[in-house]
Amino acid sequence: MDERVREHAAVLVDWSARVEAGDDVVVAIGEGAHDLGVAVVEELGAIGANPVTTYSSAEVTRAYLRAHGGDVDAAPAHQLALYENADAVLMLRGSHNTTGAADVPPDIRHDWPTQTVRDALYSSDWVATLHPTRAHAQQASMAFEPYREFVYDTVLRDWEALADEMAQLKDLLDDGSEVRLVGEQTDLTMSIDGRLAVNSAASVAYDSHNLPSGEVFTAPTATEGEVTFDVPMTVEGTRVRDVRLAFEDGEVVDYSAAQGEATIGEVLDTDAGAGRLGELGVGMNRGVDRITDNILFDEKMGGTVHLALGRAYDACVPDGTGNDSAVHVDLITDLRESGRLSVDGETVLEDGRFRWED
Amino acid sequence: MDERVREHAAVLVDWSARVEAGDDVVVAIGEGAHDLGVAVVEELGAIGANPVTTYSSAEVTRAYLRAHGGDVDAAPAHQLALYENADAVLMLRGSHNTTGAADVPPDIRHDWPTQTVRDALYSSDWVATLHPTRAHAQQASMAFEPYREFVYDTVLRDWEALADEMAQLKDLLDDGSEVRLVGEQTDLTMSIDGRLAVNSAASVAYDSHNLPSGEVFTAPTATEGEVTFDVPMTVEGTRVRDVRLAFEDGEVVDYSAAQGEATIGEVLDTDAGAGRLGELGVGMNRGVDRITDNILFDEKMGGTVHLALGRAYDACVPDGTGNDSAVHVDLITDLRESGRLSVDGETVLEDGRFRWED
């Protein structure tokens, strides 16, 4: 086994999920994540934790949902009991075909596992990560070997040092009142007054549940102005490009896109909260140096900014008034060439460099 | 997907496990059983049952046990809760390397999942089956395509008709007092007085938990005489051949083997019950027409007889006095060329043919 797989497992178990002896852990192994699964279980054995290995596959999900037709049991007792009794859930993504469930009708696509089951899962110390497969390399339009290099560059970092660096941005956002984003066809202001930023350092100890992570995010309100998202994305299975949103009084009042405009319209039509921002995030993982069409990585790209339509994260909203919606759709703008993010008039990020990097 | 995979799934779910709408089902998918897993989950979806898919792999087990070193938690809450809340557990074996855990030290080999967890699992409507892989073909010394033919010949049978045929043998054994087995270097008598035979028709409705099955078995006592097992087997990872056992007063008093004699000695030394028989079984599945070095199939071969050293099955022992042991080691004698099994002096099986087949 590639030694990096073992290192990945050690970061996941020790840094990210903080697993301890006696912990009951669910290891959700993707159809292509066998090797990482073996390494993770080995790490859990060394610690003295108790793994249950589950199996995730888009083909399994597709077969179940298409045969069932939807309206699945909200809370199967065995599934709920598994997650309610788990201290941690480690999701090892790793697909053989990232479009393996593409023909499940949209109305039943998000029903399984149900919200009740997901709530139980998300009340554990859960962490999602990805084992590099050829299918994920293909989604990134990359060859397999360089894709593996890419993934491990993003995962095997000095997380302690990055957490310290990100703490500087968290402090600025926690203390600040207004964020302004200026760039190509972009001039947007948002209030962050009374909101808390999350230093997402790829560890449950930092309220962070992705490995890799490496972003600082908060929940903006009262958005005004316009923004262009120049990073191509896949939203709800559809390619979108050059999405432009115009805001007034915190709400989207106009939108367009060079590609996938209808999909953006559908997202905005979901519910009242879908037309407001739920997240302002700043990517700070310098291992993520290219777009790979996977939000787990893309939104953490060092020097980029992403905004999400829809649901805000509770951790950012101490007074509980965060934006609510069934959706949370991230869109990314790349400020690395030219652009600026400022807090209360002070430039924090310009042309892809943070002010403490000079 | 090969249509036989779907047929296999349907037999497993409908005939074997008798899954109904609303049932909570654990589908334990072996590392090489993906396709059968997809087909089974599809079948469960069509019925309206609720699957949780778990992942089984000798490499995962090996990694965990070697890293942990043994003395694992007896009852991890999440694992126990999963099985205690399951109506059925479908074990889809299918390995990429049947010796994938060969270097786990013997003293910790059987500790995981623990007996407590297995008890919870076995209190469900569990069924074990096998998806044909290249590794299992290799263990059978067969090419892959004919191995698949073999597996489906054993699984896709008219189970209703076989259950009716096997009921004749069950009646003979239930009513009988003494079984005599005569063959090459074999003349053995056993008491079956007061014991009940199981018509193992590959369905929980018949107290049968293997697919394929196709055997009738009971729990003999007071064994006298000698028996030679001419079918080569793998016992505790070791090849054994031409095992001979001599019994007096129900106990093994002498043993030898052309190959693997030491392993037989170790089995007999396990505990007091290991030197007594726990099972007399008669194979009646005519789809099993060759030995493939896998007890799931071998012991069901039509026209063969197997005896097991060690633990008796509760279902065979109404008064609860069945032989107890930590082991249950099956050994097979092939009566298809020459040999005879009789009940109270009446011949039931001779030269591989049952008396109702003439």
- pLDDT, one tens digit per residue, over A147-196 is 999 999 999 999 999 999 999 999 999 999 999 999 999 999 999 999 99
What B226-230 contacts at long range (C-beta under 8 Å, 24+ apart), as own/partner pairs, is B226/B185, B226/B186, B226/B187, B226/B188, B227/B181, B227/B186, B227/B188, B227/B307, B227/B333, B228/B183, B228/B184, B228/B185, B228/B186, B228/B333, B229/B307, B229/B331, B229/B332, B229/B333, B230/B184, B230/B333, B230/B334
pLDDT for B345: 96
Nearest CA to CA, how far is A96 from chain B (Å)?
12
pLDDT surpasses 80 at A311: yes
What are B159's two structure tokens? 């189970």
Share of chain B above pLDDT 70, in %: 99
Mean pLDDT of A87-98: 98
- Residue B108's pLDDT band, with cuts at 50, 70 and 90, is confident
The first and second tokens of residue A26, run together, are: 């669910």
* B111 has a pLDDT exceeding 80: no
Average pLDDT over residues B67-95: 95
Under an 8 A CB cutoff, do B78 and A24 touch?
Answer: yes
- Contact check, Cβ <8 Å, A78/B85: yes
Q: What phi and psi, each to the nearest 5 degrees, are found at residue B233?
A: -135, 165
pLDDT exceeds 90 at position A338: no
Strands A88-93 and A50-56, by their bridges, are: unpaired
pLDDT at A1: 85
Residue B63 has pLDDT above 80, yes or no: yes
Q: Distance between CA B243 and CA A204 in Å, rounded?
A: 57
Average pLDDT over residues A243-252: 98
**Residue B104 with chain A: CB contacts under 8 Å:** none
Angstrom CA distances, A298 to A291, B14, B24, stand at 5, 45, 38
HSE at residue B173, side-chain half, CA atoms within 13 A, is: 28
Query: What pLDDT is attached to residue B106?
Result: 76
What is the rounded average pLDDT of the residues A186-214?
96
- Residue B355 Rama label (left phi>0; alpha psi -120 to 50; beta): alpha
pLDDT band at residue B337 using 50, 70 and 90 as cut-offs: confident
**Quick check: A38 pLDDT over 80?**
yes
Q: What is the pLDDT of residue B166?
A: 97
Cα-based distances in Å from B269 to B104, B221, B266, B326? 21, 19, 5, 11
Report the length, in residues, of chain B: 358
> CA-nearest residue of chain B to A56?
B53
Residue B146, pLDDT above cutoff 80: yes
pTM above 0.90, yes or no: yes
Of A38, A63, A79, the CB nearest to B52: A79
SS3 A36: helix
Q: What percent of chain A has pLDDT over 70?
A: 99
What are the chain B neighbours of A53 within 8 Å (beta carbons)?
A: 54-57, 60
Distance from CA of A103 to the nearest CA of B (A): 15
Query: Would you say residue A107 has pLDDT above 80?
Result: no
What pLDDT is stored for residue A55 in this prediction? Answer: 98
Mean pLDDT confidence for A279-288: 97
Q: Which element (helix H / strand E) includes B38?
A: helix B34-47
Contacts of A45 in chain B (CB under 8 A): 63-69
Residue B156 CA from chain centroid, whole number: 18
**Set of chain A residues whose Cβ sits within 8 Å of the Cβ of B77:** 24, 85
Mean pLDDT, residues B42-57: 98
Mean pLDDT over A236-257 rounds to 95
Residue A337 has pLDDT above 90, yes or no: no
Predicted confidence at residue B109, as pLDDT, reads 61
CB contact at 8 A, B348 and B355: yes
The overall average pLDDT reported for chain A is 95
DSSP state of A231: S
pLDDT mean over B183-199: 96
Mutate to test the interface with B, among A82, A97, A121 (most CBs of B within 10 A): A82
Mean pLDDT confidence for A241-254: 97
Distance CA A323, CA A320 (A): 9
| Closest Cβ–Cβ partner in A42, A60, A64 for B67 | A42
- Residue B110 pLDDT: 64
Which of A64, A95, A116, A125 has the most B C-beta neighbours within 10 Å, making it the best mutation to test the interface with B?
A64
CA atoms within 13 A on the CB side of A25: 31
For residue A82, is pLDDT > 80? yes
Mean pLDDT of A224-229: 97
A86: chain B residues, CB-CB within 8 Å: 78
| pLDDT above 90 (res B25) | yes
B53–A53 CB contact, under 8 Å: no
The percentage of residues in chain A with a pLDDT greater than 90, rounded to a whole number, is 91
Q: Please state the rounded mean pLDDT for residues A286-296.
A: 95
State the pLDDT at residue A109: 61
Cross-chain residue pair B53–A76, CB shorter than 8 Å = no
Mean pLDDT of B237-252: 95
